[in-house]
Amino acid sequence: MTGRVVLALAGAAALAFPLVAPTYHTLLMLPFMAYGVVLLGLNLLFGYTGLVSFGHALFIGVGAYAGAFLTGRLGVRHLEAIVLVAGVLGALVAMPVGALCVRYVKIYFGMLTLAFGMVFYTFLLKFYRLTGGDEGMPVLRPFLLGQDLGGMPKTDYLAGPYYYYSLAVLVAAACCMWRIVHSPFGLCLKTIRDNPVKAETLGVSVTRYRWYAFVISAAYAAAGGALLGPPTGNVDPTLAYWTHSGNIVFMTLLGGFGSFFGPLLGAFVFIYLQDFVMSLVPYWRLVFGAILAAMVIFAPGGLMGLFARRRPVEVARG
Amino acid sequence: MSGVFHAAILFLVAAGLQVVFGVQKIFNLACGSFYALGAYVGVSAVQAFTSAGGPPWLFVLPLAAAGLGVGAVGVIVERGLLRFVYDRDETFQLLLTFALVLMMEDAIRLTWGTAPRSTSALYLTYGQVRILGAIVPVYNLIVIGASLAIALGIGWLLTRTVFGRIIRATADNREMAEALGVNMGRVYAKVFTLGTALGTLGGALVIPATAAMSEMGIDLIVEAFAVVVIGGLGSMRGAFVGALVVGVLRSVAISVYPELEMLLIYLIVIAVLVLRPRGLFGGAAA
């Protein structure tokens, strides 16, 4: 019950945020919401299926570059279409990649995803005629619900319509994911995570279900990636670099991968804390590395794990 | 030939990765950071040496000493951080080494600044020779020789000494070795320090040829990663062959079709993982 109250409060706060908070903080919410979509997908794989991908930045890159290509090269400016195409493209790329990756678990799964991520990164970096190389590509301002808002000043556009658009996408994505993890399909994934042998004996095709989870999470990552481009107006290959994959796994762990909303909390804390630390010293990695090390050693359940200490929760397998 | 030089450096870093993975079952993402650390300390050591009036032709001595000495960082990392997570899921171990990557990158920036550091013009101190029509700096040959000697030395350590026997026993069956009276904490600390020292030495030896940059670590880790995947995780022979494959292929690709350079390496990595996930020499003893 308290969970619902907290959720309602968080929702109300998100709705009222642009009205009360300074524009600067509203703009910081944009990457949070984009990463929120990404992490919902990543957590299906990490928290619910027990597979840690160190190459999910690949799909963020696919989504972000899809946005750049659609707006810049192909003249498609509707954000609905961009997010949809990004998600579909992410899923299409994930199909063959996933089919190869899900045959392995643990460290080999992580390494194989990392290798695929780096293939895409190198592709983006080296084929500069197509992708703009290390300078990346511009993302033109997308239309929202068919409205061309080109006349608006950039911050008004981002802090107003684009904010609510991202929020709507995040809420829709969260609702879908809630349905997925609470369906029989979601239960099968958890069974696979906890005991793959038993799942197989019970008639669950472990590899196939892992593949489904991989493809769905890739579609989410790509859709979230498409939302990352417009606020900065540019996409570059570092979006697909392996440290970026590491950062999103970090966000998930920070919030707590044992719970549905943990990763969202993690993304929120990560982005605001990063901004705060960078306003004090330029060495945010030093601080964040120390935080990550402390989390791994002392609080593997993440922030959600700390809050829920009193209740029996499922955290930290092994 | 520059490919072989690169392979020699890669071998050192990859060997550090392998020995740690083989015994402790931890895939150390921070091995690239140790490499970067070794490079910076190496530059500083050489600069201190020359400004103290040391003869330029002896610069490899402080360089190698610095590279090996800073490997002592490994003890601190192992005792201070890693020993808490040996019983955890390997995801947490991986993330802890990722935390190290983040911390060390900024620690290096904090200490040495963001501008690239290099040892000025010591690279050609030993002159150049002509081998098979190509002009090769003698320094490259020294590094290749040193790397070969270290490869043999590790082989000797692992197969011919008591310590090597203990390491191999631990790699095979940790509980059994512990039950037979092996002090696991000390073995792990030593192994991790050995792995770290190999990485830092690799970093120190590369800097006469290139400048030390703060990103060099996170770039190298993906190459070292390619090496160990191609060779097989945990295998020393694998690291040797893998380093040669990656180093030589890279220099060939750069001269033939530069766009393909790293792409080719990753495609080979994926092919190996898909066709032969244990790598070319997987399953062999550490």
pLDDT the model gives residue B277: 66
- If 0-12 CB within 10 Å is exposed, 13-18 middle and 19+ buried, where does residue A200 land? middle
Q: Is the CB of residue B263 less than 8 Å away from at least one CB of chain A? A: yes
Residue A166 corresponds to which tokens in the numbers above? 């991202």
Q: How far apart are CA B86 and CA B76, in angstroms?
A: 16
Question: Chain B contacts of A283, Cβ < 8 Å?
Answer: 106, 109-110
If you measure CA to CA, which chain A residue comes closest to B257? Answer: A126
Residue A192 · residue A204 · CB < 8 Å:
yes
Check B270 against A115: CB less than 8 A apart. yes
Region for A70 from its dihedrals, namely left if φ exceeds 0, alpha if ψ lies in -120 to 50, beta otherwise: alpha
If you measure CA to CA, which chain B residue comes closest to A248? Answer: B95
Q: What is the mean pLDDT of each run of 10 residues along chain B (286 residues)?
A: 82 87 83 88 85 78 83 84 81 86 87 78 74 80 88 88 86 84 85 89 84 80 84 81 85 76 80 74 49
Range B2-275 classified under CATH 3.40.50: no
Q: What is the pTM of this model?
A: 0.84
CA A203 to chain centre: 31
For chain A, state the CA radius of gyration.
19
User: Which amino acid, A294?
Assistant: A
Residue B262 corresponds to which tokens in the numbers above? 């790293």
Closest CA to A301 of A270, A258, A265: A258
Check A100 against B274: CB less than 8 A apart. yes
Residue B137 corresponds to which tokens in the numbers above? 């700096």
Residue B11 corresponds to which tokens in the numbers above? 């071998």
Check A127 against B259: CB less than 8 A apart. yes
Q: Where are the beta strands (DSSP E) in chain A?
A: 137-138, 234-235
Residue B203 · residue B39 · CB < 8 Å:
yes
Check A297 against B262: CB less than 8 A apart. no
Rounded to a whole number, what is the distance in angstroms from the first to the last CA of chain A?
Answer: 30
Which residues, at least 6 apart from B83, have a Cβ–Cβ distance to it below 8 Å?
A: B185, B188, B189
**Among B90, B107, B267, beta carbon nearest to A107:** B90
If you measure CA to CA, which chain B residue comes closest to A114? Answer: B222
CA B260 to chain centre: 24
Question: Chain B contacts of A55, Cβ < 8 Å?
Answer: none
Which regions of chain A are under pLDDT 70?
Answer: 1, 308-318
Check A116 against B270: CB less than 8 A apart. yes
Q: Taking CA B255 as the corner, what is the angle to CA B253 and CA B259, rounded to the nearest 5 degrees?
A: 55
Q: What Å distances lie between residue A299 and A260, A284, A307, A315, B55, CA to CA?
A: 17, 20, 11, 10, 53
Q: Which of A97, A119, A273 to mutate to test the interface with B (most CBs of B within 10 A)?
A: A119
Residue B231 · residue B240 · CB < 8 Å:
yes
Question: Chain B contacts of A123, Cβ < 8 Å?
Answer: 263
Closest CA to B95 of A245, A277, A129, A3: A245
pLDDT digits (tens, 9 = 90+) for B98-137: 898 888 888 888 888 878 887 766 777 777 777 777 788 8
Sign of the alpha-carbon dihedral angle for A204, A205, A206, A208: negative
Q: Is the CB of residue B107 less than 8 Å away from at least one CB of chain A? A: yes
**Among B96, B110, B229, beta carbon nearest to A293:** B96
pLDDT the model gives residue A312: 46
Which helix (DSSP H) or strand (DSSP E) does residue B131 occupy?
A: strand B128-131
Check B91 against A316: CB less than 8 A apart. no
Sign of the alpha-carbon dihedral angle for B245, B250, B251, B253: positive
Q: What is the DSSP string of A216-252?
A: HHHHHHHHHHHHHHHHHTEE-GGGGSHHHHHHHHHHH
Q: Would you give the DSSP letter of residue A160? A: I
pLDDT the model gives residue A92: 93
Which residues, at least 6 apart from A85, have a Cβ–Cβ distance to it below 8 Å?
A: A66, A70, A76
Q: Which of A104, A297, A317 to mutate to test the interface with B (most CBs of B within 10 A)?
A: A297
pLDDT the model gives residue A39: 92
Check A126 against B259: CB less than 8 A apart. yes
Q: What is the DSSP string of B101-129?
A: HHHHHHHHHHHH-SS-B--TT-TTTT-EE
Q: Is the CB of residue B104 less than 8 Å away from at least one CB of chain A? A: yes
Q: How far apart are CA B232 and CA A103, in angstroms?
A: 18
